[in-house]
Structure 1
Amino acid sequence: MNEAALTLEGWYALHDFRSLNWTAWTAADDEERAVALEELHAFMQEWGPVEEAKEGSTAVYSIVGQKADFVMMFLRESLEALNQLETAFNKIAFAQYTTKSYSYVSIVELSNYAAGGNAGDGSDPMQNPHVAARLKPVLPQTKHICFYPMNKKRELADNWYMLDMEKRRELMYSHGLIGRGYAGKVKQIITGSVGFDDWEWGVTLFAEDALQFKKLVYEMRFDEVSARYGEFGPFYVGNLLTPDTFEELLKL
Structure 2
Amino acid sequence: MSTESEVAPLVPREGWHVMHLFYHIDHTNWSMLSDEEQRNAKTKLTELIQEIRSQPDTHLLTFAIATPKADLGFMLLTPDLQVANAYEKQLTLSLGPDILNAAYSYLSQTESSEYTTTREQYAADTLIGEKGLAEGSEEYEAALKEFDDRMAHYLQHRLYPVLPAWPVICFYPMSKRRLGADNWYSLDFETRRQLMGGHARTGRAYSGRILQLITGSTGLDEYEWGVTLLAKDTIDI
C-alpha change, 1:10 and 1:185, in structure 2 (3 Å) is same
Q: Residue in 1 aligned with 2:16? A: 11
Q: Residue in 2 aligned with 1:102? A: 104
Q: Which amino acid aligns with 1:35?
A: N
**Cα distance between partner residues in 2 of 1:92 and 1:66:** 21
Q: Which has the larger radius of gyration?
A: 2
Selected match of 1:25 from 26, 30, 33: 30
Q: Does the aligned pair in 2 maintain the 1:58–1:139 contact within 8 Å?
A: no
Correspondence 1:28-107 to 2 at 5 A: 28-50=33-55, 53=56, 55-94=57-96, 96-107=98-109
C-alpha change, 1:192 and 1:177, in structure 2 (3 Å) is same
Q: Which amino acid aligns with 1:147?
A: F
CA RMSD of superposed structures (Å): 2.0
Q: Does 1:199 align with 2:233?
A: no
Q: Residue in 1 aligned with 2:145? A: none
C-alpha change, 1:181 and 1:32, in structure 2 (3 Å) is same
How far does residue 103 in structure 1 lie from its aligned partner after superposition? 0.2
C-alpha change, 1:160 and 1:17, in structure 2 (3 Å) is same
How far does residue 110 in structure 1 lie from its aligned partner after superposition? 2.0
Equivalent pairs, count = 195
Correspondence 1:1-252 to 2 at 5 A: 9-50=14-55, 53=56, 55-94=57-96, 96-114=98-116, 116=118, 128-213=152-237
How far does residue 161 in structure 1 lie from its aligned partner after superposition? 1.1
Q: Does the aligned pair in 1 maintain the 2:22–2:104 contact within 8 Å?
A: yes
Q: Does the aligned pair in 2 maintain the 1:9–1:110 contact within 8 Å?
A: no
Equivalent residue of 1:139, what SS? coil
Q: Which amino acid aligns with 1:34?
A: R
Q: Does the aligned pair in 2 maintain the 1:89–1:95 contact within 8 Å?
A: no
Q: Name which structure has the greater RCO, CA cutoff 8 Å, separation 6+.
A: 1
Cα-to-partner distance string for 1:176-222 (whole Å, 9 max, x where unaligned): 11111100000000011000001111100000101100xxxxxxxxx
Equivalent residue of 1:15, what SS? strand
How far does residue 114 in structure 1 lie from its aligned partner after superposition? 2.4
Unaligned runs of 5+ residues in structure 1 are 1-7, 119-126, 214-252
Q: Which amino acid aligns with 2:30?
A: W
Sequence identity percentage = 39
C-alpha change, 1:106 and 1:148, in structure 2 (3 Å) is same
- Deviating above 6 A after TM superposition, structure 1's stretches of 4 or more consecutive aligned residues are none
When normalised by structure 1's length, the TM-score is 0.72
Unaligned runs of 5+ residues in structure 2 are 1-12, 121-150
How far does residue 131 in structure 1 lie from its aligned partner after superposition? 1.5
Greater percentage in strand? 1
C-alpha change, 1:23 and 1:115, in structure 2 (3 Å) is farther
**Cα distance between partner residues in 1 of 2:203 and 2:214:** 12
How far does residue 134 in structure 1 lie from its aligned partner after superposition? 2.5
Q: Which amino acid aligns with 2:109?
A: I
